Structures are given as C-alpha cells and as structure tokens.
Amino acid sequence: MKTMMIDDRNISINKDYLERIEKKTEALRALIEVSAIISSTLDFNELMTLVMEKAKSLMKAEGCSILLYNKETNKLEFDLTLCREESVADILRSKVSLDMGQGIAGWVAEHQTPLLIKDAKTDSRFYPGADQLTCFTTRSLIAVPLITRSGLIGVAEILNSKEKDFFSDDDLEIFLTLSRQVAIVIEIARFHKEAVEKEKLRQELEIASVVQKSFLPESPIFKKDRLILSAINLTATQVGGDLYDFIELDPNRVGVFIGDVSGKGIYAALYMAKVISDLRNIALRMGSPEIVLNRLNAVLSQAPRGMFLTGIFGIVDLSKGNLSLSVAGHPPFLWLTHGEVRVMDVASGPPLGILPIEYSSAEISLKKGDRLIFLTDGVFEAKNKEGKRIGFEKLVRFIKEHIDEGNLIQKVVDYVNNFSKGLARADDLTIVELGWDTAV
C-alpha cells in the first residue's frame, strides 16, 4: 500500500476562501452560543437582546432591528433596535410602523422572502422615513422573515457592514441561520409568557373565587320562626356575577337579596363583593327596601362605568307575615300560593349603578304554605344543543307541574341541566326560595 506524502509548504489556500471558512466557523460558534442563551433565560426582552447582539457582533454591523407583526393592525412594529445611539430605538418604537408591503421589511413580510440589499438608496422598495427621523444612514441591509409554526411573526434586519461597502451572499446565509434561531427565541418566549399569564390568571381566579364565596352566606339555608330561605348558586366559570344574601336586620326582620352583576371574571367577582358589603352596611341602617336600593344605587353609580347589576331586595316582617320589596331591573319572581303560580312582574326601576333614580316598593301578605321563587336569567336563558332557550313561560309551566313537590328549586336546576345536557353552562344560575310557614 502506497502512501502519498504531501509537503505542507507547497500548499497554497486562497485568502478569500480562508476568510469564508473562518467566518462560517465563527458563525457556527455563535449558533452554539445562541443555543446556550436560549437555555439560559425565558425573559422575552432579554432573549431578544442577547441573540441580536450576538448577530450584530458576528456580522460586524452598525445596527440591527426586530419588527414584530401585529395581526390586529396588519402592521410591522419596531420591537428591538440595537445601534450606537440609544435614542434611535425609542424613536422607531414610538413613531414608525410599516404596512405590509411598505419598505424593505414590509416587502419581506408580505412575500415571506429574504432580501439582500447592497445599495438601499437605489432600491425603490426602501422606506427613507425611518432614517429621516433618526438621522441614521442605511447603506446596505439584509432583511429576513421570521416564520414559525404559527405563521409570520415579524422581520429581522441587519444594517451596514463596518468592514465593507455591502453585505455578501455568505452574510445572507449566516443571518438566515441566525434569524431562524431568533424566530425560535420569540416563539419560546411567547409560549412561556402565555403559560405564565395563564397560571397567573388561574391563581387570580382561584383567589377571586374564594373571596366571592366568602361574601355569600355561610349556609344556603336560613331559618327563623316561620321563615325558611334557601338558595342555589352555580357559576358558569370559576367566578361568576350572580349573588344572593340573607341579612338578619333585627329580631323581627330579615332581608333577602338576589342580584346579577354585568360581566364575568375577576372584576365582576370583586364588584360583587363590594355590592354585598355595601348592601349589608346600608340595609342594617335603613328601614325599607326602596331606601336601601336608593342608597345602594347612589354608591354604585360612583363605581367604574360599565359595571351595574339587576337585583331584588326584600324585607320580611316576621311578626306580621309581610314581605316588602323593591326591584332594580331584575326578572319577575314567582309567587306560589293556593296551588297556583303567579308571575310577579312588579314595578321596577333600572339596574343599579346606571342612573340616579328613586325606586318604589311593593308589599305581599304571606299566607301559610306560600313560597316565592327569585331567580336570575341564567335559569330561563339556558340553551340546548339546537340553540333553543328554555324561556320564561316554559319554566313557569315546569314549576306549575311540580308545585306540590319538595325541594323544588333543586328540581328546577336538574331540569335546566337536562335541557342543556352536553353543553357547558353559558351563564350563572341562581335561585332563591322564600317559604312562609311551610312544612320542612
């Protein structure tokens, strides 16, 4: 077997070729470093800055930028800019955005194709507005679309080589590779941010749910003398906007309230807690339901606009067997007496927290065995798979058919659940039953 000996002194390597090999080796080293950077932190801004600083250093460029695609506005917005003047980044972020197709970045985003521009001034696609605002002079640039599994997320740009008049095809290849890493960085950071926000929201909802439940009566059943109050409160989500309360005002009077706050979620839960707190404070000082609603309305009218609630507040006089009540935009309640179901659509003012107004009151003389059923619209607005609602009239018919049966409000809930079987609850559901001298 023959071995060929090569005298190293006789080998000559093209200088440009050697420089290309060295640059690609440096690029490979930079990619390894970028991979380490990705593993080091999940902070979006820190990741973006570290990776783009590495790209700017490797490409020996005067500046670089990341423009993120805003799907809502269909524009590219400067998110990160690195150059000698720090003020440039603030100007671009606050004053410059590009339409799809506008400028080099807009063209790259629209066509999702990278561009190497050797002389920006002679390219008709170049947008000079950014240079004019920042006093930066763009000579040569590379623009690369940032694309992930979810589609276009932005454009990365590298501007002005410090060592030569313009970037080369090798520079384009290196920046394309780095930009793929940038796209991965953005996607990972976004997923992490979304996960953190979801976990934060979950914790906030959990706290709000605990707070909300702490403001409701400890027990859904209240008994005193001949009065029995019972309630069922089911939320569509972890926290809801329906509320009820039983308030022992004095030895002979008991207050009962049902309400429905506009909106859902954390803010509605906190608003609900405020409503119950204010209601109890006012009810213990006022003598009639209409005055309670008047004062509560005045307090809630000072709350942030857009929040309001419907409600019914009643006061039962245990010594007389009378119920006086006042209504604020709430659905009618039902009076079950002598084997019939009466729909009590009494005079009502608007929902609380909207208009300064004086509420009126009505009075009912309770007889042995009478029951009153108060409910929120989540009961009769429930839908089935065909999109049909139960409707108030159908609900009334169901109650008439089961008027003599025990645990009526639970039967109503079962009826609603069966009607909407297979669907998630779309709205909160609350029912309060007032029984007077009824059999336990």
Q: What is the pLDDT of residues 278-289, one digit of tens each?
A: 999 999 988 899
Q: What is the pLDDT of residues 177-208, one digit of tens each?
A: 888 877 877 787 777 777 778 877 777 677 76
Between 108 and 7, whose confidence is greater? Answer: 108
**Domain end position, chosen among 191, 206, 236:** 191
Residue 210 lies in a domain: no
Cβ(264)–Cβ(242) below 8 Å: no
Q: Are residues 252 and 323 located together in one domain of the fold?
A: yes
**Distance in angstroms (rounded) separating the CA atoms of residues 314 and 324:** 6
Q: Quick one: pLDDT at residue 428?
A: 86
Residue 208 lies in a domain: no
Q: Are residues 166 and 256 located together in one domain of the fold?
A: no
**Domain end position, chosen among 132, 159, 191:** 191
Q: Are residues 124 and 273 located together in one domain of the fold?
A: no
Q: Are residues 372 and 228 located together in one domain of the fold?
A: yes
Residue 227 lies in a domain: yes
Model-level pTM? 0.61
Q: Are residues 396 and 252 located together in one domain of the fold?
A: yes
DSSP secondary structure, 363-428, as one string: EEE--TTEEEEEE-TTTTS-B-TTS-B--HHHHHHHHHHTTTSSSHHHHHHHHHHHHTTTS---S-
Question: Predicted confidence band at 114 (pLDDT cuts at 50, 70, 90)?
Answer: very high
**Domain end position, chosen among 158, 191, 224:** 191
- Residue range 37-49: average pLDDT? 65
Residue 307 lies in a domain: yes
Q: What is the pLDDT of residues 211-267, one digit of tens each?
A: 777 778 889 999 999 999 999 998 877 667 789 999 999 999 999 999 998 877 777
Q: Quick one: pLDDT at residue 150?
A: 82
Between 371 and 240, whose confidence is greater? Answer: 371
Residue 29 lies in a domain: yes
Count up the domains in the chain and report the number. Answer: 2
What are the angstrom distances between the C-alpha of 105 and each of 54, 326, 390? 21, 63, 55
Q: Quick one: pLDDT at residue 163?
A: 84
Residue 201 lies in a domain: no
Residue 7 lies in a domain: no
Please count the residues of the chain: 440
Tell me the two tokens of residue 95: 């004053």
Q: What is the CATH number of the domain that holds 57?
A: 3.30.450.40
- Residue range 342-365: average pLDDT? 93
Q: Are residues 95 and 244 located together in one domain of the fold?
A: no
Q: Are residues 236 and 296 located together in one domain of the fold?
A: yes
Domain that holds residue 355: 215-436
What mean pLDDT value characterizes the chain? 85
Cβ(117)–Cβ(103) below 8 Å: no
Residue 50 lies in a domain: yes
Q: What is the CATH number of the domain that holds 347?
A: 3.60.40.10
Q: Are residues 287 and 186 located together in one domain of the fold?
A: no
Cβ(88)–Cβ(78) below 8 Å: no
